[in-house]
Chains A and B, each alone.
Chain A
Amino acid sequence: MATTEAYRITERRRVTMTGAEATAEAMRQIHPDVVAAYPITPQTDIVMRFARFVADGVVQTEFVPVESEHSALSAVVGASAAGARAMTATSGPGFALMHEILYVAAGYRLPIVMPVANRALSGPINIHGDHSDTMGSRDAGWIHLYAENAQEAYDDLIQAVRIAEHPEVRVPVLVGQDGFIITHGMEIVEVLTDDEVRAFVGEYRPERYLLDVDHPMTVGALALQNSYFEVKRQLAEAVRRSARIIADVGEEFGRLTGRYYGLTEPYRMEDAELVIVAIGSTAGTAKDVIDELRGRGVKAGLVKVRVFRPFPARNLRDLLGRARAVAVLDRADSYAGLGGPLFAETKAALYGLPQAPVMTGYVYGLGGRDITPEMIAAVYDDLGQLAERARADHAAVAAEAALSVRYLGVRER
């Protein structure tokens, strides 16, 4: 078929595309058996592109255009349990509507892969990017990967299939990308060939599945006090175990593409004294700021958290243990908790280190508010002052900073 040929990629290409486009392209190349989805801004661009692939006969995927995100994930749970490689995609309120079924998918250990265009949650309604959606379900038992840019959104999705389906993991994986900033921002993306992607993800061969009618099984039995706890404990173990698999898959992907992935990505951390920890597209902005600060002799560094579940506590201890001051940037608030989710967990990870750095938290970018290089430079300034003050009385300054959360780029009056 002519149209099918037009879509096929037989040589690696560098193409200008948005994160949504790159994600849809990855989905085409992964070629899942079933995709069920409901449109929601800014994810819509992913599913409508995928629907076009279906309409043009480019993929043989069974596309189920459901009536809600709740049903999208419900259908994907059914399809995955039935023995299919199944995917959906969502964003913000749609992800929130899936909340109940996120736990079902994880509890049933179904290797579902789901791109999420990260978006703010109502009210008031806002369609732009922040991390309130996925952070709100951080304890549902899914593996969380977050992309920095369109290239990573593409690369992460392909790796997610291998991670989710690994026999020692079998946990659903979501791949977050900042709504609009990544989903709708144009970038140059290196796209692998169809054959390379197909070979990398391999064929899905479930051990047990509902459509194997000669070997009937009951999926989703009632688990009472005598068994529920064990199911959830085993899930926790699987997510913990996935850290090694994620690193292995990232290494293998690196050998194929030259782009290596780990749980965290340190940037100019060799001798860094002032460090920002961040997730997503903001990490890219921070890298530019760091390069400039380094030119002025500031020992600035960055730790990008790519994997939020399993939480890379050991990596963070290793990377941040030698820093003097650390700022953790959260694109989600926990409203008078002990800082945003990334700040709270990073602090927890470093607890008990004899030489823990002074740490402080910032909430920024809610509802898609811009974060500028100037704001990030200001954070490094703050860190410099914090480190100076800590010279005099480390314990007192560290204790105060650990409880302080500042709002970056918000009108304070």
Chain B
Amino acid sequence: MPTLKELARRPNPLTGGHSACAGCGFPQAVRLVLMSIEEPVVVAGATGCMEVTTTTYPNTAWTVPFIHNAFENAAATISGVEAAYRALRRQGKIDREIRFVAFGGDGGTYDIGLQSLSGAVERGHRFLYVCYDNQAYMNTGIQRSSATPYGASTTTSPAGEAVPGKLQRRKDLTAILAAHGIPYVAQSTIAHWQDLTRKVRRAMEVDGPAFINVLAPCRLGWGTDPAMTVRMAELAAETCAWPLFEVDHGQWHVTYVPKQKLPVEEYLRPQERFRHVFQDKSGQLLAAIQRDVDEQWEALLAKAGQAVDGKAASRA
């Protein structure tokens, strides 16, 4: 494993000067992922914050080959790129190892892009799909997505007198990808650089599709201080609201078990999108969110064959 210093010395795939918000989570996701890959890489990106803020013509922040096609088809696009690579390599027109990565936000991945992603991994293209999940359609004005967690207030699931924010659980996309039976699936955050870089390297080793879901907080949509972005991702893992795990050739492993699982309140309280949760004097909404987090965490531990009391050792 390279140290953080060594990683930082690698050529930067995404230069400064892009126009993402201060404290935005996705640039860390992109840099950590791409700096973990030693081979030359070609990147596809879905429409979204990342594409808009890094490729405003005549500028580009990408120092690696990058293609944006549309919102819902990053996976189909990269499968075409990968197919071209196979064809040209077989003809001897290209004679080096190249790796392929697609990035999409949660809207372009959980929702409109799910068919394209499902199709591409089913076909077995060798590529890594990274979802930078900030849990809503942030670029277009913070609308709910199927990744938005239960109880969060967004502009299309606003918390009001009658409806307390989003009424549905977030879609478990990582499990859906695992159900495709592809070689490698994982979940991480931008705060856990060692965990994430190790997972990316594993994804590069496997011969076939890989998927990593990376929690990348959005300070604008979440209503958090820009300086708190990384801390928010940490708190997501410490409260088990966003567990870190991997499914390596069908084997589930929880890769981070907090020494002491924090109450979900500690993660929710700094976020404006959950403000109404704390204005609810009955405490029922908070209790429902806590119950949901606990249930999902325990179900995950059970799948991984790890003890429900959380004492099992972390694999990482």
- Please give the residue numbers on chain A whose beta carbons come within 8 Å of chain B beta carbons, in ascending order: 33-34, 36, 60-62, 64-68, 70-71, 74-84, 86, 100-101, 104, 210-213, 216-224, 226-227
Interface residues of B in 93-127 (CB under 8 A from A): 94, 96, 98, 115-116, 118-120, 122-123
Q: Are A218 and B55 in contact (CB under 8 A)?
A: yes
A residues less than 8 Å from B175 (CB atoms): none
CA distance A227 to B56 in the complex (A): 10
Asked if B248 lies at the interface with its beta carbon under 8 angstroms from chain A, I say no
Who on chain B is nearest to A63 by CB?
A: B83
Q: How far is the CB of A84 from chain B (nearest CB, A)?
A: 4
Who on chain A is nearest to B77 by CB?
A: A78
B residues less than 8 Å from A76 (CB atoms): 80
Q: How far is the CB of B52 from chain A (nearest CB, A)?
A: 5
Q: Are A224 and B42 in contact (CB under 8 A)?
A: no
Q: How far is the CB of A9 from chain B (nearest CB, A)?
A: 22
Who on chain B is nearest to A220 by CB?
A: B68
Asked if B90 lies at the interface with its beta carbon under 8 angstroms from chain A, I say yes
Q: Are A86 and B65 in contact (CB under 8 A)?
A: no
Of A33, A67, A224, which one neighbours B115 at CB under 8 angstroms?
Answer: A67
Evaluate whether A211 and B73 lie within 8 angstroms (CB atoms) in the complex, with A82-B80, A82-B81 already known.
no
- Supplied contacts A64-B83, A78-B81, 12 more A-B pairs, CB within 8 Å: A67-B118, A68-B115, A71-B79, A74-B77, A78-B80, A79-B83, A82-B85, A86-B84, A100-B70, A213-B98, A216-B62, A218-B55
Q: Are B66 and A74 in contact (CB under 8 A)?
A: no
Q: How far is the CB of B238 from chain A (nearest CB, A)?
A: 36
Q: Are B42 and A211 in contact (CB under 8 A)?
A: yes
Q: How far is the CB of B32 from chain A (nearest CB, A)?
A: 19
Who on chain A is nearest to B89 by CB?
A: A211
Of A74, A86, A104, A220, which one neighbours B116 at CB under 8 angstroms?
Answer: A74
CA distance A104 to B72 in the complex (A): 13
A residues less than 8 Å from B200 (CB atoms): none
Q: Are B80 and A64 in contact (CB under 8 A)?
A: yes
Asked if B51 lies at the interface with its beta carbon under 8 angstroms from chain A, I say yes
Who on chain B is nearest to A71 by CB?
A: B76
Asked if B91 lies at the interface with its beta carbon under 8 angstroms from chain A, I say yes
Q: How many inter-chain residue pairs (CB < 8 Å) link A and B?
A: 164
Q: Are B81 and A33 in contact (CB under 8 A)?
A: no
Asked if B233 lies at the interface with its beta carbon under 8 angstroms from chain A, I say no
Q: Are A33 and B80 in contact (CB under 8 A)?
A: no
Q: Are B70 and A101 in contact (CB under 8 A)?
A: yes
Most chain B Cβ neighbours within 10 Å, of A74, A77, A104, A217: A74
Q: How far is the CB of B96 from chain A (nearest CB, A)?
A: 8
Chain B, residues 4-22, CB within 8 Å of chain A (1/0): the string is 0000000000000000000
In this complex, the interface size class of chain B, counting residues with CB under 8 Å from chain A, is 35 or more
CA distance A79 to B80 in the complex (A): 4
CA distance A83 to B62 in the complex (A): 19
Of A77, A84, A223, which one neighbours B87 at CB under 8 angstroms?
Answer: A84
Q: Are A79 and B64 in contact (CB under 8 A)?
A: no
Q: How far is the CB of A90 from chain B (nearest CB, A)?
A: 14
Evaluate whether A223 and B84 lie within 8 angstroms (CB atoms) in the complex, with A70-B72, A101-B70, A210-B42 already known.
no
B residues less than 8 Å from A81 (CB atoms): 67, 81
Who on chain B is nearest to A88 by CB?
A: B80
Q: Are B70 and A211 in contact (CB under 8 A)?
A: no
CA distance A61 to B87 in the complex (A): 7
CA distance A391 to B79 in the complex (A): 63
Which 3 pairs from chain A and chain B are nearest by CB?
A: A78-B80, A67-B119, A75-B80
Of A70, A74, A100, A217, which one neighbours B80 at CB under 8 angstroms?
Answer: A74
CA distance A5 to B28 in the complex (A): 54
Q: Are A36 and B83 in contact (CB under 8 A)?
A: yes
Q: Are B69 and A84 in contact (CB under 8 A)?
A: no
B residues less than 8 Å from A218 (CB atoms): 55, 60, 62, 65-68
Who on chain A is nearest to B71 by CB?
A: A100
CA distance A220 to B64 in the complex (A): 14
Q: Are B83 and A34 in contact (CB under 8 A)?
A: yes
Q: Are A101 and B80 in contact (CB under 8 A)?
A: no
B residues less than 8 Å from A71 (CB atoms): 73, 76, 79, 115-116, 119-120
29 A-B pairs in the complex with CB atoms less than 8 angstroms apart: A62-B86, A64-B123, A67-B116, A67-B118, A67-B119, A70-B116, A71-B76, A71-B116, A71-B119, A74-B76, A74-B116, A76-B80, A77-B77, A78-B81, A79-B80, A79-B81, A83-B84, A210-B42, A211-B65, A211-B81, A211-B85, A212-B65, A213-B40, A213-B42, A213-B64, A217-B66, A218-B67, A218-B68, A224-B56
Q: Are B55 and A34 in contact (CB under 8 A)?
A: no
A residues less than 8 Å from B312 (CB atoms): none
Who on chain A is nearest to B79 by CB?
A: A75
Q: How far is the CB of B104 from chain A (nearest CB, A)?
A: 13
Asked if B260 lies at the interface with its beta carbon under 8 angstroms from chain A, I say no
Chain B, residues 41-66, CB within 8 Å of chain A (1/0): the string is 11010000001100111101011111
